[in-house]
Amino acid sequence: MPQRASAFACNALISLYYVDFVRHFRSTFTMFDRVHPIPAFTDNYIWALIDTDAAEACVVDPGDAAPVLEFLVSEKLSLRCILITHHHPDHTGGLVELSNRFSAPVYGPRNPRIVGITHPLQEGDELELFGASFSVLEVPGHTLDHIAYYSTTPKQPVLYCGDTLFAAGCGRLFEGTPQQMLVSLNKLSSLPPETLVYCTHEYTLANLRFALAAEPANMALQERAEKEQQKRDQGIPTLPSNIGLELATNPFLRCENQELRERVAGQSQLSLDNATSTFAALRQWKDNF
Ligand SMILES: [Zn+2]
Q: How confident is the model at residue 66 (pLDDT cuts 50, 70, 90)?
A: very high
> How high is the pLDDT of residue 245?
98
> How high is the pLDDT of residue 30?
54
What's the CA-to-centroid distance between 128 and ligand 1, angstroms? Answer: 25
What's the CA-to-centroid distance between 184 and ligand 1, angstroms? Answer: 15
> How high is the pLDDT of residue 187?
98
For the chain, what is the mean pLDDT? 91
> How high is the pLDDT of residue 153?
83
| C-beta of residue 96 within 8 angstroms of C-beta of residue 116 | yes
At 207-266, the pLDDT tens digits run 999 999 999 999 999 999 999 999 999 999 999 999 999 999 999 999 999 999 999 999
Q: How confident is the model at residue 8 (pLDDT cuts 50, 70, 90)?
A: very low
At 36-62, the pLDDT tens digits run 999 999 999 999 999 999 999 999 999
> How high is the pLDDT of residue 5?
46
> How high is the pLDDT of residue 31?
76
What's the CA-to-centroid distance between 88 and ligand 1, angstroms? Answer: 5
pTM of the model: 0.89
What's the CA-to-centroid distance between 163 and ligand 1, angstroms? Answer: 5
How far is 284 from 72, CA to CA, in rounded Å? 40
pLDDT of 11 > 70? The answer is no
How far is 191 from 176, CA to CA, in rounded Å? 22
What's the CA-to-centroid distance between 72 and ligand 1, angstroms? Answer: 24
Query: Higher-confidence residue: 31 or 132?
Result: 132
Domains identified in the chain and CATH numbers: 31-121 (3.60.15.10), 126-289 (3.60.15.10)
At 80-125, the pLDDT tens digits run 999 999 999 999 999 999 999 999 999 999 999 999 999 999 999 9
What's the CA-to-centroid distance between 187 and ligand 1, angstroms? Answer: 19
- Active-site positions read 86, 88, 90-91, 142, 163, 201
pLDDT of 14 > 70? The answer is no
